[in-house]
Structure 1
């Protein structure tokens, strides 16, 4: 059973009443963070099976949102990859007074009193800037999957839209260029006030220079019209065909098919056709 405990199984099946009953039986909130054999907590599984209501219950009861699975992903990372807006909201929006009152009524000392008291005035302490084991933050994962609505939520909660991923230093804008995703690029350029057009990769390439190396002339024109500095890329060993080859393989190398969040099968992703 891949180390799944009753609470893991209840989350997978979407049994809200069973989840609530098991939480009431837990003597301490730390037991809500038990990981199975692939390092998934109940909160991870609620994210994988798109159960935002269960996610809120777990968080109110004291589940820790920053625990990582075997790939270094938190529940928020998984929700961003899957494009599950309601799950992202469940992990980032502040608790309402009704939710807080109900948590105290149902769980008493088992609820995360410190978090609940502060969250009545602030958003959840979500893991917006945590990197997974590939060095990617939530903004990178959402950008790679083309989930503009998810990026919009993340940015509204203060996520760094200029963050560089840990391997090559690409920002969401570099990712938009790499995938030739004009809708994503336009969102970043039009709606993200803090976007820095000149943020460079670890190799010193701005978004415009990155577009030049990849022979993305349309993306170059878009960036030029938005005020990007049209500086010639430095001499390097880059080959545009090598970079373009990453488009179809990057997500598969890390997770298998990035669309795997359709259902759950004993800790292993299931792909869809």
Structure 2
């Protein structure tokens, strides 16, 4: 979603929205400071947000090299990287995660402030989701791989119920994503949510039997399936009373 009212957009916002890269580059070149590049519209989007949403890769990189903040959140808490990951824009994600080189700043009329790139990958939007959570939910394998390569925490829990990315794959029944995540040695196959729910418990409760069987063969414990968990699954995770979880030990019989 872009500007709802053009009257609250800067000239820079407008040139990006209308896909005028030459004009956009000229405006960036006239910026008096990096702070000027961080003006927001009525959706709290900076020009960098707009460039990401419209997938203008060169503009994204120029803004980053001109000192535009990569950490500003829009009205739903998404940074530009959150948006790129959610939309599956691999090229944009790469530019946002690549540190700025000195030679890329020569066009600026000012010295850009230091900012950490790659940025804090544990930043959550207002739904409690990190960039890694969003890309796993959307099934973007290459972006998931890139985020993990630059330090994203594969076992970080989302903010509402504490589900890790493996929980999310189990929740959606995405066995391919689960297999991909378990190829990383750091993945905790028995990670628990705030209420003690493990990925295999969640998969079985969602009736993703094939995925539950797969997690079992990969070493997931069945304690939570047998009622050993101290917590009760929240509505955010699952309503366990409505799930048919009978004879969980039958998982073994499939193999």
Shift of 1:240: 5.1
| Aligned counterpart, 1:63 | 68
Structure 1 pair 108–193 and aligned structure 2 pair: CA distance change class (3 A)? farther
Q: Say yes or no: does 1:79 pair with 2:80.
A: no
Q: Say yes or no: does 1:169 pair with 2:162.
A: yes
Q: Is the 8 A contact 2:9 2:41 kept in 1?
A: yes
Q: Say yes or no: does 1:186 pair with 2:179.
A: yes
Query: Which has the larger Rg?
Result: 2
Shift of 1:75: 0.3
| Aligned counterpart, 1:95 | 100
Q: Say yes or no: does 1:156 pair with 2:149.
A: yes
Q: Say yes or no: does 1:112 pair with 2:112.
A: yes
Shift of 1:241: 8.9
Q: Say yes or no: does 1:7 pair with 2:9.
A: no
Q: Is the 8 A contact 1:164 1:201 kept in 2?
A: yes
Deviates more, 1:11-20 or 1:45-54: 11-20
Q: Is the 8 A contact 1:3 1:36 kept in 2?
A: yes
Q: Is the 8 A contact 2:64 2:100 kept in 1?
A: no
Structure 1 pair 60–242 and aligned structure 2 pair: CA distance change class (3 A)? farther
What is the total number of aligned residue pairs between the two structures? 230
Structure 2 matches for 1:1-273, cutoff 5 A?
A: 1=6, 3-96=8-101, 100-104=102-106, 106-109=107-110, 111-112=111-112, 114-115=114-115, 124-190=117-183, 192-233=184-225, 234=227, 236=232, 238-239=238-239
User: C-alpha separation between the residues in 1 aligned to 2:241 and 2:133?
Assistant: 22
Q: Is the 8 A contact 1:14 1:54 kept in 2?
A: no
Shift of 1:212: 2.4
Shift of 1:45: 0.2
Unaligned runs of at least 5 residues, structure 2: 1-5, 244-255
User: C-alpha separation between the residues in 1 aligned to 2:192 and 2:40?
Assistant: 38
Unaligned runs of at least 5 residues, structure 1: 116-122, 244-273
Structure 1 pair 114–212 and aligned structure 2 pair: CA distance change class (3 A)? closer
Q: Is the 8 A contact 2:198 2:224 kept in 1?
A: no
Q: What is the TM-score with the length of structure 2 in the denominator? A: 0.84
User: C-alpha separation between the residues in 2 aligned to 1:126 and 1:188?
Assistant: 22
Deviates more, 1:86-95 or 1:208-217: 208-217
Q: How much is the aligned-residue C-alpha RMSD, in angstroms?
A: 2.0
| SS in structure 2 of the partner of residue 108 of structure 1 | coil
User: C-alpha separation between the residues in 1 aligned to 2:160 and 2:114?
Assistant: 36
Which of the pair is proportionally richer in helix?
A: 1
User: C-alpha separation between the residues in 2 aligned to 1:66 and 1:138?
Assistant: 12
Q: What is the TM-score with the length of structure 1 in the denominator? A: 0.78
